[in-house]
Amino acid sequence: MASGQRIAVVGATGAVGQTTLKILEQRKFPIRELRAYASERSAGKTVTFAGEPITVRRLDAGSFKGIDIALFSAGSAQSREFAPIAVKAGAIVVDKSSAFRMDPDVPLVVPEINAGAARNHKGIVACPNCTTIVTVMPLKPIHDLGRLRRVVATSFQAVSGAGVNGVAELRDQTIAWSRGEPIKAKFFQHQIAFNLIPAGNFVEGGYTDEEIKLVNEIRKILEQPELLISPTTVRVPVFTAHSISVNAETETKISAADAREAFAHFPGIRLFDDPAHNRYPMPIIVEGQDDCFVGRIREDLSCPNALNFWVAGDQLRKGAALNGIQIAELLIGGR
């Protein structure tokens, strides 16, 4: 780590933080100094980067002196408190929380879609919600081809999207079931093992906050504030990788063949659409992959200008850590 950028990873002991460290190493991100930060209870622990142990520090007001880029993988409360401090210290913040996503002065960026927006930052660049990223990736080439009119999106979200507690709950309930023991729901509202939970934090109108995020963030990324979007989010008993069933209606008719061609040539998307040979995106296939896999592409039987397709992506990688690092890569040299 003799040359390059001075990087701070905030939330380094969490699932996204750990994935961030792995991807920084895998992509050979130019790092001169790496600092790992977490909450006070995690201070003193170590994380590994490039085979070396890095001591985790407690986050405080002086943490960002000399830092070039701060990758925030903590909660929105920490981001709201410490991101402005990091910017004041001279760092650029890439924030993966919901704290700044809808701030009109903060660009909300998926590099394959709106890379230019990142360069208009005022110190903070926001990453979208993980479900939003996986959903909007295939929507962009469809929008470019036929201009989106309406989107219906139903997500099937892995428990790791809810953090380590979600993973532990699915694991513990599965073990309890296999032993014939009572299954207890401690973290989710209901049993998650062998179940689907079409719920979350409900807000006005009967929607969940996750569903409203999906609507608002897609509109901002695509710069389509009036785009009609109907969302449903579902938590499913899968450890990693979100899947989304999408119905996209366009102003101009797009054939399934044209959509396949567009997906095949769009960066960050892997066309995986051969139902005759049982090839379609599934969580066990996309886990650990950087691309979003798209398949089950077909024309809507009920609407002449609409397509149905299925997209799946590893929400810890492209849905969070990788997207943030790609933004940091855009920022290098553009300060």
| Residue 248 dihedral angles phi and psi, to the nearest 5° | -120, 120
Sheet (strand 124-126) strand order: 46-49, 52-58, 31-38, 5-10, 69-72, 92-95, 124-126
Exposed / middle / buried, residue 27 (Cβ in 10 Å: 0-12, 13-18, 19+): middle
Q: Do 11 and 74 touch, CB atoms closer than 8 A?
A: yes
H helix intervals, the chain: 15-26, 76-88, 111-118, 130-146, 164-178, 209-222, 256-264, 283-286, 322-331
Nearest to 151 by CA among 246, 258, 220: 246
Question: 14 is written with which tokens?
Answer: 């969490």
| Residue 185 dihedral angles phi and psi, to the nearest 5° | -95, 115
CA–CA dist 162, 148 (Å, integer): 30
What number of other Cβ atoms are within 10 A of residue 228's Cβ? 13
Q: Do 123 and 103 touch, CB atoms closer than 8 A?
A: no
DSSP state of 309: E
Please tell me the chain's helix, strand, coil percentages from 3-state DSSP, rounded to the nearest 5. 35, 25, 40
CA–CA dist 325, 304 (Å, integer): 39
CA–CA dist 102, 112 (Å, integer): 19
Residue holding tokens 């201009």?
A: 147
- Residues recognised as catalytic: 130, 242
